[in-house]
């Protein structure tokens, strides 16, 4: 502080002591910071409260004057985690086979040459075959002749056996410890006081 500033302060508003000067420089509510441990009460008088383990933030529309907040470390909540997906693979299980079960092929016929189909049921049906040497059973020449035919696919009964009831397990690989992370910017620690009286 220069001599001219001291003289000016002495001559303004009835200031007539060094304490009055300090009271003007550091009124109640002032903040004092220092890299040493000397209390400003010893330097300037008045009562001072030391602020510990806090950053100073300029008050504004988002943070009211004298409000406090923040945290030194923080553990992310589920809603704070970045959007992401998990992948996984299923475990092999349930290799199995099926048998065809019982196939009952049924049917009946009146005689071996039931040409009108009246006596055929089930797997037997009335169809055409190539005539023997071009002559039918009636003694006349024919390129084809009617006769009883057989087709297993026309009658199939039975069911496949049941086998292999099973489940699959999906396993996701987890990572991360869930511990709190450091929430502080780079800093220089100093002593900070606030004048309260």
Q: Report pLDDT digits (tens) over 72-88.
A: 999 999 899 889 887 77
For residue 177, what pLDDT is reported?
85
For residue 145, what pLDDT is reported?
65
- The kind and range of the H/E element at 42 are helix 40-44
For residue 160, what pLDDT is reported?
63
pLDDT 10s digits, 36-60: 999 999 999 999 999 999 999 999 9
Q: Which of 181, 179, 194, 187 is nearest to 46 (CA)?
A: 194
On the CB side of 100, how many CA atoms lie within 13 Å of its CA?
Answer: 5
Domain assignment present for 160: no
CA-angle at 95, arms to 89 and 97, nearest 5°: 150
Q: Which of 44, 37, 71 is nearest to 190 (CA)?
A: 37
Domain that holds residue 139: 107-154
Domain assignment present for 6: no
Domain assignment present for 141: yes
Separation of alpha carbons 99 and 186, rounded Å = 73
Partner residues linked to 141 by β-bridges: 135
Contact predicate 142/136, CB 8 Å: yes
pLDDT 10s digits, 123-165: 788 877 665 555 555 666 666 667 777 777 654 555 666 667 7
Task: Using DSSP bridges, classify how beta strands 124-130 and 144-150 pair: parallel, antiparallel or unpaired.
Answer: antiparallel
Considering its fold, how many domains does the chain have in total?
1
For residue 176, what pLDDT is reported?
83
For residue 47, what pLDDT is reported?
96
For residue 158, what pLDDT is reported?
56
Coil, helix or strand at residue 171: strand
For residue 155, what pLDDT is reported?
47
Q: How far is CA 103 from CA 98, 108, 120, in A?
A: 14, 16, 20
Percentage of the chain beyond pLDDT 90 is 35
């Amino acid at each position: 502080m220069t001599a001219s500033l001291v003289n000016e302060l002495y001559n303004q508003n009835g200031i007539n002591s060094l304490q009055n000067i300090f009271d003007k420089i550091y009124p109640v509510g002032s903040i004092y910071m220092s890299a040493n441990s000397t209390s400003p009460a010893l330097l300037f008088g008045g009562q001072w409260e030391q602020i510990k383990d806090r950053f100073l933030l300029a008050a504004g529309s988002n943070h009211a004057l004298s409000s406090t907040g923040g945290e030194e470390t923080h553990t992310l909540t589920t809603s704070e985690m970045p959007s992401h997906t998990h992948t996984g693979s299923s475990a092999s299980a349930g290799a199995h086979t099926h048998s065809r079960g019982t196939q009952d092929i049924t049917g009946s016929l009146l005689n071996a040459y039931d040409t009108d189909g009246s006596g055929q049921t089930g797997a037997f049906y009335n169809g055409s075959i190539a005539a023997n040497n071009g002559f039918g059973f009636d003694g006349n020449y024919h390129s084809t002749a009617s006769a009883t035919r057989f087709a297993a696919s026309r009658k199939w009964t039975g069911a496949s056996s049941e086998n292999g009831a099973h489940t699959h397990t999906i396993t996701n690989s987890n990572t991360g410890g869930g511990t709190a992370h450091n929430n502080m910017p780079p800093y220089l620690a100093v002593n900070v006081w606030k004048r309260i009286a």
